[in-house]
């Protein structure tokens, strides 16, 4: 469980490819109206950057210090 670390989707950059939704094994992300949305931030794993790594559009950052690489 993570109250302080979870993804933030940049709606301007997100293309709706849904790679992140398919990748995350914890059900944190889901599709809504053609883009990815964060539906269960409390299930995100501290310091996991899995979905950021699979996003080809640099649309994912993290709450509390998750700078883009
Ligand atoms: S991988 Fe990136 S561009 Fe694709 S749906 Fe997720 S946030 Fe959007
Ligand atoms: S950081 Fe990891 S656990 Fe959190 S939403 Fe992305 S892939 Fe899932």
Q: How far apart are CA 3 and CA 13, in angstroms?
A: 25
Instruction: Tell which residue, 13, 49, 7, 47, has the closest CA to residue 30.
Output: 7
pLDDT digits (tens, 9 = 90+) for 12-42: 999 999 999 999 999 999 999 999 999 999 9
Average pLDDT, the chain: 91
CATH number of the domain at 14, please. 3.30.70.20
Q: What is the pLDDT of residue 2?
A: 64
Question: Ligand 1 pocket test: which of 10, 13, 19 has the largest number of ligand atoms within 8 Å of its C-beta?
Answer: 19
Q: How far apart are CA 34 and CA 3, in angstroms?
A: 26
Full domain range(s) for residue 13: 7-62
Number of separate domains in the chain: 1
Residues β-bridged to residue 62: 7, 66
Instruction: Tell me the pLDDT band of 59, cut-offs 50, 70 and 90.
Output: very high
Question: Ligand 2 pocket test: which of 28, 60, 65, 68 has the largest number of ligand atoms within 8 Å of its C-beta?
Answer: 28
In a domain, 68, yes or no: no
Instruction: Tell me the pLDDT band of 69, cut-offs 50, 70 and 90.
Output: very low
In a domain, 2, yes or no: no
Residue 1 CA to ligand 1 center (angstroms) comes to 22
């Amino acid at each position: 469980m993570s109250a302080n670390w979870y993804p933030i989707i940049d709606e301007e950059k997100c293309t709706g490819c849904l790679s992140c939704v398919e990748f995350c094994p914890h059900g944190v992300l889901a599709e809504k109206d053609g883009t990815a949305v964060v539906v269960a931030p409390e299930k995100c794993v501290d310091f996991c950057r899995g979905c950021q790594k699979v996003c080809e559009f640099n649309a994912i950052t993290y709450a509390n210090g998750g700078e883009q690489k």
